[in-house]
Amino acid sequence: MAAENDRAMEPRGPVAVILSAGESRRFGGRPKALLPVGRETAIARIARIAQRAGASRVIAVLGPLRKEIERALDGHSVDIEENAAWPEGRTGSVQLGLRAAGDATPVLVWPVDHPFVAEPTVDRLFAAASRDALATWVVPSFRGGGGHPVLLQRAAIRRVLELPSSAPLRSLIPVLGPQVLRVPVEDPGVLENVDSFDAYWSALEAWKRRGGEIDGP
């Protein structure tokens, strides 16, 4: 009965899933989630923005660096899910996060290596999804390039859960066709993939030039 009551009390949405299950090999094992972005770590900033945009729950999917990241999240309202099969690919982490989200919709899926996304961008994704009943996959687009985070509705979530864990999420975009909504944003952060120290420093400097340092808590 307690478990049923717990499920009944689960938020119906929206929920944010932060993907941070890699080993950060290019960073010498230092978690990308803990890279400084202004006065916050990358993962703390993502969690804060997601919550301010309306996420009633934030789930972080972690892997081999769980202990370090979890310690840094102490005091933050973030639920932890561990992906023991993280080497199989990011899609497995997405699926784990979506299952943890239960029936909640929509779900904002946000890789931790895109920490420079502006808060208004996330607001725009939620607003666009609420206006378009046919959109099941909402993608921010900067100058024609699709980026992250993405917002998934129930139909897209079902498709993602059916994928092999090694298949890339983008393989579903042609399948969903008109159900994919691209939302133009004036935010280079949606394309800034922090996959190396050089990429991080470059994105950090660009974010500072955009006035990013004043958007913290």
Cβ-contact 170, 187 below 8 angstroms = no
- In DSSP terms, which residues pair with 141 in a beta bridge? 146, 184
Residue 98 in domain? yes
DSSP 75: T
Which residues fall within 8 angstroms of residue 77, CB to CB, at 6 or more apart? Answer: 47, 51, 58
Q: Which residue has the higher pLDDT, 7 or 101?
A: 101
Residue 120 in domain? yes
Residue 182 in domain? yes
- In DSSP terms, which residues pair with 109 in a beta bridge? 17, 150
Domain interval for residue 139: 2-211
Between the two ends of the chain, the Cα-to-Cα distance in Å is 40
**CATH number of the structural domain spanning residue 190:** 3.90.550.10
**pTM, 2 dp:** 0.91
The pLDDT of residue 7 is above 50: no
Distance from C-alpha of 143 to C-alpha of 137, rounded to nearest angstrom = 19
Relative to beta strand 15-20, strand 107-111 is parallel
Residue 217 in domain? no
Q: Which residue has the higher pLDDT, 10 or 98?
A: 98
The pLDDT of residue 119 is above 50: yes
Confidence of residue 1 (pLDDT cuts 50, 70, 90): very low
Total domains, the chain: 1
Amino acid at 36: P
Q: Mind listing the pLDDT tens digit for each residue in 35-77?
A: 999 999 999 999 999 999 999 999 999 999 999 999 889 888 9
Residue 116 in domain? yes
Q: Mind listing the pLDDT tens digit for each residue in 77-92?
A: 999 999 999 888 889 9
**Across the chain, what does the average pLDDT equal?**
90
Residue 216 in domain? no
